[in-house]
A and B are shown apart, each in its own frame.
Chain A
Amino acid sequence: MSSEDTSGENTAINTKDAPAKASLIYDPKVRSWFYQFLLLGGVVWFFGSVWGNLTANMARQNIRTGFGFLDNTSSFEIGFKLIEYDRSSTFGDALLVGFLNTMLVSVIGIIIATIFGFSIGIARLSSNWIVARLATVYIEVLRNIPLLLQMVFWYFGVLAVMPSVKQSIQLPLYTVFNNRGMVTPAPQFSENFVMVWIALAVAVIIAVFVSKWAKKRQDDTGVRPPATLINIGVIVGIPALVWLAIGATLTFSIPVLRGFNYQGGIHIPPEFIALLWALILYTAAFIAEIVRAGILAVPTGQGEAAKSLGLNEKTRLKEVIIPQAMRVIVPPLTSQYLNLTKNSSLAVAIGYPDLVSVFMGTTLNQTGQAVEVVAITMTIYLALSLGTSAFMNWFNARIALTER
């Protein structure tokens, strides 16, 4: 019906504007095609000439091409690694080591920065004047100083002047701290301890189902079963029972000073500590501001309405304020997570072997294959951030659905 109408209108206009047909340059469609064609030509020309220059320059400088170098022996050592790696490993292995190091520092950083940032954001809204002022000062100072400067400050200014190994600072739980980093006791699991991990995973799955059941039960009957208590019991109890049943053992290797360094335990290098610490402090300041804005974005009437319904402080926060604030908090929070991941590339300045440092630094210097190395590194970061934004869009759509 309506399509018929518009087509009729179109023909009418076309017949009326007969002269316009004569000069195509006034037709928006033709113009649009023309511009896009021009753009396409420009893009093709640009990449064509870049490609031409690139191949010519690389041929002249005898730079090899292709991704074959990934299988070559790297013959350099990496100081901090999560997987087996030595001089005889390939550049591909080095890439993986760097990537895992980046992920390690990012994941730990994100978890701690979130906890820290939420606390500071809430503290800034505290009714306690001193607490609120302290949080404000923290945010304004940390947010306005470049991250790289903070990082080199912690690394060269603080950790480098820590006491030497002999005069290590003794922390609780057999942890020691010196200018070579931190040594903590290392948990050592017996062979069959894997069963305990499996039990823990099963317990978590059960807990998810219990929560779902509890929610449904509350919706149906109005009575909320003690789901939290049951879940704590399940998550602690099942693995503990399995542990006792199969007789798995958990021992700790405690660091002992022998000769010039500590033996045993987990050695955390100062680069890792400085990078993580700087990333956490910096990102927490931004997360705090996001949290504050999110909580302030919930209209005061919501809290008052919840109060007048007779909800207590805890329920009010949990069921009314936080769900609404989260809707405002989550999108910028995700982009802060992404920022933290990207900022971890500053590790190159203090020598923590992350993706950029290992691959764009050492590998690039050794192979000279700039184009491939830069392309691989950028693609990895791009994939991470596009993946995160895809997740964010999905999550946004999900919380938007629960509205109303």
Chain B
Amino acid sequence: MKPAPFAYTKARTLKEAVALLAKHKDDARLLAGGQSLIATLNMRLSAPELLIDINGVKGLDGIAKKGKFVEIGALARHAQVERSELIAKHAPLIALAMPHIGHPAIRNRGTFGGSIAFADPAAELPACLLALGAEIDIAGAKGKRKVKADAFFKGLFETALRPQEILTAVRIPAADKNTRAGFSELARRHGDYAIVGLAASARADGKGLADVRLAYFGVGATPVRATKAETALAAGNVDAAVAALDLDPPDDVQATGAVKKHLAGVLLRRVAKQLMEAR
């Protein structure tokens, strides 16, 4: 199908984009990478009157280490993040997840911020942010604010972003020598949305693990943490962690809830192994 007619304008600065959104309200949508938006336009699942193209907004695509954090601009393309040496060194979980996001042609256009703002429940990056305890920068007509990943993903495609706000950057704690990361997902075809996936972070503590954070995706309306399994894994017991998985995934087009729950345990064993290995 083809999109319904719409008008198109380019925002050159963040201020301009915020002003345009404030003016046109719900009639307008932001166009970043467009890898989800244009698909929904083509299918006429979405029919805005105006697209505000923010691809030309300067200063939103940086990747930088700022003190103890790595800051990734909302307009950084997936391919740019995937090839970043800084990400490989200081944000190993993100580096592990990137090759699973869509396909090369999608990663060349899709943006880091777009994936998070869209918040598909089976997407990789929202779960990574949850596992890392990231912080999300938001700009709007009333100024700027920050939201923790734990409070950002609220429901199916629903986030803490208010109408007419823009996600501008994400900050994640920079890895040090004790940081451990694990990532695994199962998909019908490499690059497709996951049937089930798991993003995990932890800190090496002697021979064991501390601060274990397990964030599952594809198992509900939002990425979810398996807190009981986290405690069991920190205590060093993988079998107990699998038994403690308190997930209740609904059936979807890809698999039944029971299959997903079983696969969540399979992934936990794989990811636990990654976390135990030295970085």
Q: Do A and B come from one complex?
A: no
